[in-house]
Amino acid sequence: MSDNQLSLPVKLSYANKLNYDLYKVNIFILLFFQGFHNWTLNPFHMMGVAGVLGAALLCAIHGATVENTLFEDGDGANTFRAFNPTQAEETYSMVNQFDLVHIHFLSTQPFFSTFSIEVINF
């Protein structure tokens, strides 16, 4: 075993000073914190994550519905009568909005690049 392998548990022990290098902090969290405190399997944590993601989905659906009611299609239509649930054709299609997915995907690049996560490889 090399010297680096022998000193790794000492470097990652909680009693020593925590190194503020981002890579080493992440390794510390992965090995020590998640290894001994598996909080991701806590049912309350799972419900919290599902609640946050569910709330985000409801906000997106609500925003799409509000935007849909603002769409005026025809004579005499106002803001509150633009959307009719029994109409034949749809005024908003989530499938057609997937043309903009690449814009949302590219907008995450600066965020991920701060953590040295490569999203795009050319």
Spans of all domains in the chain: 3-36, 39-113
The answer, yes or no, to whether residue 82 has pLDDT greater than 70, is: no
Per-residue pLDDT band at 122 (split at 50, 70, 90): very low
- The reported pLDDT for the residue numbered 42 is 82
Give the C-alpha separation, 13 to 28, whole Å.
Answer: 8
The answer, yes or no, to whether residue 43 has pLDDT greater than 80, is: yes
Residue 8, classified by CB atoms within 10 Å of its CB into exposed (0-12), middle (13-18) or buried (19+), is middle
The mean pLDDT value of the chain amounts to 67
Model's pTM, two decimal places?
A: 0.34
Higher-pLDDT residue of 6, 50:
50
**DSSP label at 29?**
I
